[in-house]
Amino acid sequence: MKVFSMNTTQTNKRLRLPKHGPPITVGEMLVEAYIEPLDMTQQRFADAIGIDRQSLNAIIKGRRSLTIEMAMRLGRVLGTSVEFWLNLQRMTELYIAENSDFAKTIAKIPVLVDVKQTAEARQSPVPTPKARRS
């Protein structure tokens, strides 16, 4: 049987979402911070990263989610990290999910495991069994 262990400090980290409105999307970041300042068209930018203009436009308009492959392309040509682009995408998806009707349904599901209590229990010393006397 495989044993699965989680580092509770890592599993409880949350992305910081903006308090007043949605986060900036991948498309907004691409256009406002890169495509426009570089004075490029979507066609020229798409050619530079090796994709067709329709795919780029779908990402810019928010009709298509960013894939890992696309994040790698953007990271390479723009000198940023792959994680930067993936986190932008993740924040947008999380914001949409947390503000959906589905989130209200999820909030009604009872918590089965309290991670904090589980972590505290692991840190407390385990009592050793007493030796039997014969």
Domains and CATH numbers, the chain: 22-106 (1.10.260.40)
Distance CA 49, CA 24 (A): 21
Contacts of 98-102 with C-beta under 8 Å, sequence gap 24+, read 98/17
Kindly report, residue by residue over 65-86, the tens digit of the pLDDT: 999 999 999 999 999 999 999 9
| pLDDT of 123 over the 60 cut | yes
pLDDT, residue 127, reads 60
Q: Determine contact, residues 17/91, Cβ cutoff 8 Å.
A: yes
pLDDT, residue 2, reads 37
Q: Determine contact, residues 37/46, Cβ cutoff 8 Å.
A: no
**pLDDT averaged over every residue in the chain:** 84
Which alpha helices (DSSP H) does 1-134 contain, by range? 8-11, 26-29, 42-49, 53-60, 68-78, 82-98, 101-107, 115-123
pLDDT, residue 8, reads 37
Distance CA 94, CA 67 (A): 16
